[in-house]
Copies of this chain bind each other. A is one copy, B any other.
Amino acid sequence: MFQNIKSMRVSDQIVNQIQSQIVEGRLTERQKLPNETELSQQFGVSRASVREALMILESKGVVERRKNGGTFLCKYCLEKILSAIDFPRKLDSEMFDDLYEAREILEIKVGELACQRADVLDLMKMEKTLTMMQESIDRGDSGIKADILFHQCMAMATKNQIIAGIVRSLGTTMKDMRIQTLAYPGRLVQCLKEHRAIYNAIKEKDSRKCAELLRQHFSAVAQIRTALSNEGNGRSRAANE
């Protein structure tokens, strides 16, 4: 019920104070904070403690620190905040399934929203990722960049920063897996085909079709994943014989 007061670290108290001031609007976007020495005097603590606090705030995407320029409050950018989360773990397969499901659910909805809200600029950006992917096919690279960008553009087209941020974060977390999938024979070509169809659905504002296409898009990937994991098992079994 009550939190331990005395044991709270100085650096944590500083973090809290600064965050409170931001919420209260007393510190505003892009504002420059006093330098470390001055802060330490104002707070009445050592510079080391101030630094620890600032490191935390930086890792959270709240402030930005420039080498010899000082500390600034970040412009509010959800993407930055969300990208501050990473998943520094060996993602086990269960976690992968969860991630995958979450992404599928969100992105299908994203597609529907994009159909309603995408403007010409969004469509242009998406179109560009299609040509990018074609170039990847021609050049023979993984095409992951175009893939990620396509989905991000679609998410941006929802005009919902939160959703775009979450989708982006999930998408990049699964980057390694997506690279594997795209490397599956013939997948990249098929993927481009699917992206194109989704793009057209959004252009035509056909949200039902778009949702269906996305479902197919994801189930295609799921199939490849099972194929890949079976292959893997097969190989390892063969290796044991």
Contacts and interface: CB of A to CB of B under 8 A. Distances in A.
Interface residues of A, number: 41
Contacts of A98: 160-163
Chain copies in the assembled complex: 2
B85 A60 contact: yes
A64 to B, nearest CB: 13
A115 interface: no
A88 B22 contact: yes
B84 A85 contact: yes
Contacts of A82: 85
B56 A88 contact: no
Interface in A62-114: 62, 67, 76, 78, 81-82, 84-90, 95, 98-99, 101-102, 105-106, 109
Interface of A: 7, 11, 19, 22-25, 48, 51-52, 55-56, 59-60, 62, 67, 76, 78, 81-82, 84-90, 95, 98-99, 101-102, 105-106, 109, 160-163, 166, 170
Given A82-B85, A98-B163, A102-B160, 11 more contacts: A22-B89, A23-B90, A60-B84, A62-B88, A81-B85, A84-B85, A95-B162, A99-B162, A101-B162, A101-B163, A102-B162
